[in-house]
Amino acid sequence: MEPIEKFLKEKNIPYKLIQLEQVAYTVDEVIAYAKGDIRPEEICKTIILKGKKTGQKAAVLLLGNERIDFSKAKKVFNEEMCVADREEVKIVSGVDAGAVCPFLLTIPLFVDEKALALEKINCGSGNHLYGLEFKTVDFSHGVSYKVISIGKSN
């Protein structure tokens, strides 16, 4: 059993694992490799940010087709932020970038308001061969987060 399955069962959060035909790191790869039905507009990604001065780390969940607006990030975190490097991502999430699961983090989580407007979220499960799908209304039962506006369209 995947660690996320154990966690979600303990929290009584209904979920579905989406098997991927091969390792996926990007939203486009998830769409291409997913076995079964997924809705591309429900794919979200978790990005680990760090403060350029303090090194403070935070996770941001946003729509898969959006990017971090770093001017908004500076206002939210009160300092300039950058994307954490691969090793830093692995330290705080236990996995490589592309498979980060928002439920399994030990750092603060911030969720873009557009992601919360979705009926369901499909995101990283902690395993590059599986995506995780759950109803957005169940998200707060498993993790604490702060709602922000930080995404911008590509």
- The span from the CA of 134 to the CA of 24, in Å, is 19
Could you tell me which residues come within 8 angstroms of residue 1 by beta carbon, excluding any fewer than 6 positions away?
Answer: none
The amino acid occupying position 123 is C
- Strand bridging mode 109-112 / 81-83: unpaired
Domain boundaries, the chain: 3-153
How large is the average pLDDT for residues 34-57?
A: 94
64, two tokens: 């898969």
DSSP state of 72: H
pLDDT for 112 beyond 60:
yes
Please say if the pLDDT value at position 123 is more than 80: yes
The answer to whether 42 and 133 are in contact (CB under 8 A) is yes
**Residues facing residue 48 across a β-bridge:** 59
pLDDT at 78: 97
Q: Quickly state the pLDDT bin for 98 (edges 50, 70, 90).
A: confident
Residue 116 in contact with residue 147, Cβ under 8 Å? yes
Say if strands 109-112 and 57-63 run parallel, antiparallel, or are unpaired.
parallel
- Burial class of residue 150 in the structure, from the number of CB atoms within 10 Å of its CB (0-12 exposed, 13-18 middle, 19+ buried): buried
- Domain 3-153: CATH class, spelled out: alpha beta
Type of residue numbered 30: V
